[in-house]
């Protein structure tokens, strides 16, 4: 299929990101551009470092045609996952391969000062460990455990992040690293990370994080869906049947989070005579064979499934991924979710539906933050701007040379 003849350098580069090498002839066929134009634009992308030769194609007689592909080592990005009580940072190449990683126990409730100081120091340490110059850093992606206005990168009234409301996270980091900083909520980046690492061929998926809170990252048609204000997927505050008198930290009653998130499960288990302070404690009890903990988790799965069933009917994903701390309860949680989903969803919507636990696990968020940064750096618009800046620099240099003659 031929693209428009007006394909620009950035759009041409988008073809070269598909994971396979291309010849000039293949690119010309795909874009409708003249071979001479393809050669010029490939040369520009090679000067930018984004494309590199890739061996040689099989010859049909004569010299084998040259192959070209994305150069993943051209630049670096850092992905940051900030959770309620932990933080992780990873340095990756443009394919998302992890080159270095650091983590720490860190309370987001301590405020943006201490947390972002750790981020700044971690980026510096990761670059130093890679022995790459700071100039190779192309972007930073960061996920936060609360609502984020994606267009500005500012948290908006995050319930577990005192002192963060409308804080200029990108501005803080750019004072130290003059690169684009992309910020999103933790569940969205988990969805991106899970898809990039394990579900590349899935265009419609939902990742549900069950931890201190409950939320969903929605990918539809291969695109992350954030909604008008970035709050799409806030499942934790959907009302569930039979919980009308249960107060939620949001100020309402009967929310899913109030009955099925980690703190609610720990309270329910304590009421049955077991010792548990967190969702992680409940998971450990389940793994140890505690019948009360298993029953509590199974019911939480049913409650979550009631809400997920509505989502399945509305957006028809092909995969629902369960992640977060409480997902460690495994089949005890999944069984309850599946029970409600298959009972309450339309048969056609569940005919090929898979409900599975996260395979990326604890790395999903940091991989997703890296993916967020990579998608920006390699977007057609950013690559086109870089090629135009290179052309302008060439023109200025040529003009200077002419004046000196």
* pLDDT score, position 64: 59
> How far is residue 235's CA from residue 258's CA, in Å, rounded to a whole number?
11
- Does the structure show a pLDDT above 50 at 88? yes
Q: Set out the domains of the chain in order of their start, with CATH numbers.
A: 5-72+380-404 (1.10.10.10), 76-190+364-374 (3.30.420.40), 200-361 (3.30.420.40)
Q: Which residues contact 149 (CB under 8 A, 6 or more apart)?
A: 155, 156, 229, 230
The secondary element (H helix, E strand) that includes residue 9 is helix 9-15
Q: pLDDT tens across 135-180, in order?
A: 999 999 999 998 999 889 999 988 889 999 999 999 999 999 999 9
* pLDDT score, position 63: 58
* pLDDT score, position 8: 85
* pLDDT score, position 2: 47
State the average pLDDT over residues 366-390: 93
State the average pLDDT over residues 11-15: 88
Q: pLDDT tens across 119-133, in order?
A: 999 999 999 999 999
Helical packing angle, 291-315 and 331-344, nearest 10°: 40
> How far is residue 138's CA from residue 93's CA, in Å, rounded to a whole number?
10
3-state secondary structure (DSSP) of residue 261: coil
Q: pLDDT tens across 205-256, in order?
A: 999 999 988 999 999 999 999 988 888 898 999 999 888 889 998 889 999 9
What Å distances lie between residue 11 and 41, 147, 246, 298, 394, CA to CA? 11, 32, 52, 49, 21
- Does the structure show a pLDDT above 60 at 56? no
pTM of the model: 0.88
* pLDDT score, position 405: 67
Two tokens, residue 271:
């009421």
* pLDDT score, position 403: 79
What is the DSSP code string of 129-183?
Answer: HHT--GGGEEEEEEEESS-EETTTTEE-S-TT-TT-TT--HHHHHHTTS-S-EEE
**Averaged confidence pLDDT in the chain:** 91
Local confidence band at 5 (pLDDT 50, 70, 90 cut-offs): very low
* pLDDT score, position 241: 87
- Does the structure show a pLDDT above 60 at 320? yes
> How far is residue 340's CA from residue 132's CA, in Å, rounded to a whole number?
51
Question: Residue holding tokens 């029970």?
Answer: 339
- Does the structure show a pLDDT above 60 at 84? yes
Q: Quick count: other Cβ atoms within 10 Å of Cβ 254?
A: 18
- Asked if 343 contacts 160 with a C-beta cutoff of 8 angstroms, the reply is no
Residue of 182, 194, 185 lying closest to 227 (CA atoms): 185
3-state secondary structure (DSSP) of residue 242: coil
Local confidence band at 362 (pLDDT 50, 70, 90 cut-offs): confident
Q: pLDDT tens across 20-44, in order?
A: 899 999 999 988 889 999 999 999 9
3-state secondary structure (DSSP) of residue 5: coil
What is the DSSP code string of 277-295?
Answer: SSHHHHHHHHHTT-HHHHH
């Amino acid at each position: 299929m031929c693209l428009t003849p007006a394909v620009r350098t950035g759009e041409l580069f988008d073809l070269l990101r598909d994971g396979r090498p291309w010849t000039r002839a293949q690119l010309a066929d795909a874009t409708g551009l003249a071979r001479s134009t393809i050669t010029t634009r490939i040369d520009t992308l090679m000067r930018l470092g984004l494309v590199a030769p890739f061996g040689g194609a099989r010859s049909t007689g004569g010299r084998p045609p040259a192959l070209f592909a994305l150069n993943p080592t051209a630049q670096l990005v850092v992905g940051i996952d900030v959770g309620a009580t932990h933080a992780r940072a990873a340095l990756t190449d443009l394919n998302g391969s992890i080159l270095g990683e650091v983590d720490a126990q860190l309370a987001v409730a301590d405020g943006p000062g201490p947390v972002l100081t750790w981020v700044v120091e971690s980026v510096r340490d990761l670059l130093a460990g890679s022995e790459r110059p700071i100039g190779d850093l192309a972007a930073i992606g960061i996920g936060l455990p609360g609502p984020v206005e994606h267009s500005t990168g500012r948290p908006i009234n995050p319930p577990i992040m005192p002192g963060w409301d409308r804080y200029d996270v990108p501005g803080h980091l750019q004072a130290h690293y003059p690169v684009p900083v992309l910020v999103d909520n933790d569940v969205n980046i988990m969805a991106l990370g899970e898809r990039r690492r394990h579900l590349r061929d899935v265009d419609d998926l939902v990742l549900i994080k069950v931890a201190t809170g409950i939320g969903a990252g929605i990918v539809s048609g291969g695109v992350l869906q954030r909604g008008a204000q970035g709050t799409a997927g806030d499942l934790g505050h959907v009302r569930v049947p039979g919980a009308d008198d249960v107060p939620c930290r949001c100020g309402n009653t009967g929310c899913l989070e109030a009955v099925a998130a980690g703190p609610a499960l720990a309270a329910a288990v304590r009421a049955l005579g077991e010792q548990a302070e967190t969702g992680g404690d409940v998971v450990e009890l389940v793994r140890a064979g505690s019948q009360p903990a298993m029953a509590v988790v199974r019911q939480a799965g049913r409650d979550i499934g009631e809400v997920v069933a509505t989502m399945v009917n509305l957006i028809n994903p092909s995969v629902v991924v369960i992640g977060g701390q409480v997902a460690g309860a495994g089949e005890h949680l999944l069984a309850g979710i599946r029970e409600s989903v298959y009972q309450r969803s339309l048969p056609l919507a569940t005919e090929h539906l898979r409900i599975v636990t996260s395979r990326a696990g604890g790395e999903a968020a940091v991989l997703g933050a890296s993916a967020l940064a990579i998608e920006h750096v390699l977007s057609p618009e950013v690559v086109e701007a870089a090629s135009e800046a290179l052309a302008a620099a060439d023109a200025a240099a040529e003009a200077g040379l002419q004046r000196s003659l």
